[in-house]
Amino acid sequence: MVERDLHVDARADDAPWIREVTSTSASTEQARPRLSALLPIAAIRLRIPAMDWRAAVRASGEALVAAGITTPAYTDQMIATVEQLGPYIVIAPGIALAHARPSEAVLRPGLSWVTLAQPVRFGHKDNDPVTLIVGLAAPDSSSHVQGLATLAELLEDPTRRAALMAANTPRDVLGVITEYERRDVRGVGRG
């Protein structure tokens, strides 16, 4: 299910990947790690220089490795996925969700967050250029669903997306995420 979701070529205005991931997570919310648990501070890199999409994906993979989420082999697998399947990972304007199939190179579920110093082109006809690469590493098809749903909701909200993109430090990124998660837990709402 999730693998199919990740291959949807979505436009920001209709965002079926957001609706699909969000509806999938509703029934499994209690058993899955939250976004803040999947995104350690060591996996957040801001304003990273990248000459092309390969360097951008590599930066995302290096952040996963630095956080102990994957081995370097997973970075190569993410790049190979784009080489084989094309730029479908560019899921919304300016945003790429770099990932590969679950493999032994994934040590635990997790995410990386990499903003680029300058946007790069992945070759996507609608959503290029990319300024944010979220690296997704999952050892299975379900352990990351709730965190990914929260990420989708955050990025769909223009105010929160702007706050995330304007973050000056990794702690700023996590602050926006944890504030959102606290509001959600208290039942304040997501709007």
Neighbours of 169 (CB within 10 A): 11
Maximum Cα–Cα distance across the chain: 43
Tokens 């990499």 sit at which residue? 114
Contact predicate 109/42, CB 8 Å: no
Strand partners, 98: 135
Establish how many alpha carbons lie within 13 A of residue 84's alpha carbon, considering only the half-sphere containing its beta carbon: 10
Peptide bond into 129 cis (omega under 30): yes
Active site residue 99: yes
Catalytic residue among 7, 99, 124, 144: 99
Contact predicate 78/98, CB 8 Å: yes
d(CA 69, CA 108): 5
- Where in the sequence numbering do the catalytic residues fall? 99
